[in-house]
A = this chain, B = another copy of it.
Amino acid sequence: MTLGSYVDSRVVRNGGENAPCPYRIAGVDCGNCAVRAISVCSALDAGERIQLEGIAQRTRFGSKETIFLEGDRTCSFFNITGGTVRMFRLFRNGRRQVLGFRLPGDFLGLELDDRHRFSAEAVEPTTVCRFGKPQFTSLVESNPRLLRKLHERTGQEIGFAHDQTMALGQRSAQERVAWFLLSLRDRQKNAGSATDVVKLPMPRQDIADFLGLTIETVSRTLTVLARENVIVISPRKVYFVDECQLTKLAVS
């Protein structure tokens, strides 16, 4: 399944307050989905999956494209099938806090408030399975196993948030960066990636805003880790040379 087939469905959001959800539709083939095994859909049997296919819309977002904005009415839930999403909130003075990254297999929109509490953007070209709110809600309510999976994800969501709080509250800059590299690697590992490398699709500024640091400090810290032969930096990637040392630095 190539990304190319979705290029034509690239979205231009119309931004209206009460406008209908502005996402274009493309065909969905759950049977071929790369993330089925690691996503909430794994709770479904073949029959239920066909039901889900019926309400799913495959959508593609280009790099830096907005998926939704803080304050927007929630009208959709998203299952990430490819790419990377950043979640963030802004202060009025412009400061930005990245609240997390969502990777293939992750779910977006579990908070189920009336309005989104944060914004979401594609970090790189990203494909998602979009579910309309009413359809998805009624499917969930009639499917306890799916509900349970979503509960599980919600717990994971809270866990992510707490992990970030631990990092920002108690760790030094070096500890935060080491923790970030390892935890992102672990999530990519779950999706089948290699264990001695972590892909960094997001720019340094995103990492900085996620870790509560400046871009300069992130850059400097990575340089120091490289100079100490703990990692090797390459564009959009970091190789782990001394994972043991990195783990020590990340504390826990």
Contacts and interface: CB of A to CB of B under 8 A. Distances in A.
Interface in A65-89: 89
Given A91-B252, A251-B91, A97 B166 contact: yes
A32 to B, nearest CB: 32
B141 A141 contact: no
Contacts of A111: 155, 158-159
Contact of A155 (B97, B113, B155, B164): B113
Interface in A145-176: 151, 154-155, 157-159, 161-162, 164-166, 168-170
Contacts of A169: 97, 168, 209-212
B168 A93 contact: no
Question: Could you say which interface size class chain A belongs to?
Answer: 35 or more
Interface string A10-53: 00000000000000000000000000000000000000000000
Contacts of A93: 251
A10 to B, nearest CB: 29
Interface of A: 89, 91-93, 95-97, 99, 110-113, 117-118, 141, 144, 151, 154-155, 157-159, 161-162, 164-166, 168-170, 209-212, 251-252
